[in-house]
């Protein structure tokens, strides 16, 4: 028995033609899906992240123009260089995450710092260096996560960084107004990140689907649709969009 998921993503009805979209994390999973979808809708893409080879692979899938720019969210100089490379843009989306999971008594400080760089410090520095380049009607969208609302043993850093980001988007939405700032908070999504579980993956995802009020797991397409809503609706800011099938309630 297969794990319940959504139907394939329908063609995007909202045109992004003429807009420039910066996607940090475009080298894999949801970031790649978002970049491909946005390109098909007419956007000019800037693909950013730490893995140049992966970004170039994504660029090869684009329907339209795309530039590849390496960036390290733990390095302010790298973010400042990204700002110079990007120039003016309409929307920036960061799917970046660097989990530092494990018991608190065994946490590695460098891993904790990387986790905060991806989810908290990096977004702050992106706002610092790129807010002045956002065109009218533009936005920032960052990725939080369900762990902030459903903490679990071994996930303390994940819960804290995702929760901090949820509050950060509210503060930035006020300070950077009228630039809009939002977050998407995924639940358990079959994006490829669970493939390392091997034969245990299907049973794990089936258990998630059985517990979720939506009675299925998420797909990258679910997250892409949420991002497109966040960047496309001019009256949404300072908001966390929960795309978790109700998982935070179960």
Give me the CATH number covering residue 221: 3.40.50.720
Residue 195 has pLDDT above 90, yes or no: no
- pLDDT value, residue 7: 43
Q: Does residue 11 lie within any of the structural domains?
A: no
- Retrieve residue 71's tokens: 């960036």
Sheet order of strands, 180-186 included:
66-70, 44-49, 20-24, 89-94, 134-143, 180-186, 240-243
Alpha-helical regions (H) of the chain: 29-40, 52-59, 76-86, 109-116, 122-130, 156-175, 201-211, 220-232
d(CA 93, CA 22): 6
* Structural domain containing residue 192: 20-243
Residue 10 lies in a domain: no
Q: State how far the Cα of 69 lies from the Cα of 85, in Å rounded to an integer.
A: 7
| Local confidence band at 191 (pLDDT 50, 70, 90 cut-offs) | confident
Residue 228 clears pLDDT 70, i.e. is over it: yes
Number of domains composing the chain: 1
* Residue 3 pLDDT: 55
Encoded tokens for 23: 């996607």
Residue 248 falls inside a structural domain: no
Backbone angles phi, psi at 249, to 5 degrees: -100, -20
Assess if residue 233 is contained within a domain: yes
Mean pLDDT, residues 184-188: 97
């Amino acid at each position: 028995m297969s794990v319940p998921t959504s139907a394939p993503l329908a063609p995007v009805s909202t045109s992004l033609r003429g807009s420039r979209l910066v996607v940090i994390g475009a080298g894999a999973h949801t970031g790649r899906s978002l970049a491909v979808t946005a390109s098909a809708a007419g956007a000019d893409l800037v693909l950013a992240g730490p893995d140049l080879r992966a970004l170039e692979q994504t660029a090869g899938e684009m329907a339209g123009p795309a530039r590849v720019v390496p960036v390290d969210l733990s390095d302010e100089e790298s973010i400042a260089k990204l700002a110079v490379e990007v120039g003016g843009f309409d929307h920036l989306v960061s799917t970046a995450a660097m989990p530092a999971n494990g018991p608190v008594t065994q946490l590695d400080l460098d891993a904790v710092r990387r986790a905060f760089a991806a989810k908290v410090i990096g977004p702050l520095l992106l706002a610092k260096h790129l807010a002045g380049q956002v065109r009218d009607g533009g936005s920032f969208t960052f990725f939080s996560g369900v762990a902030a609302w459903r903490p679990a043993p071994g996930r303390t850093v994940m819960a804290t960084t995702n929760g901090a980001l949820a509050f950060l988007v509210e503060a930035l939405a006020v300070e950077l107004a009228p630039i809009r700032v939002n977050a998407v908070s995924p639940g358990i999504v079959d994006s490829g990140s669970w493939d390392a579980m091997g034969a245990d993956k299907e049973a794990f995802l089936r258990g998630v689907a059985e517990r979720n009020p939506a009675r299925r797991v998420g797909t990258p397409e679910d997250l892409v649709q949420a991002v497109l809503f966040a960047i496309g609706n001019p009256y949404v800011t300072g908001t966390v969009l929960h795309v978790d099938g109700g998982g935070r309630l179960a």
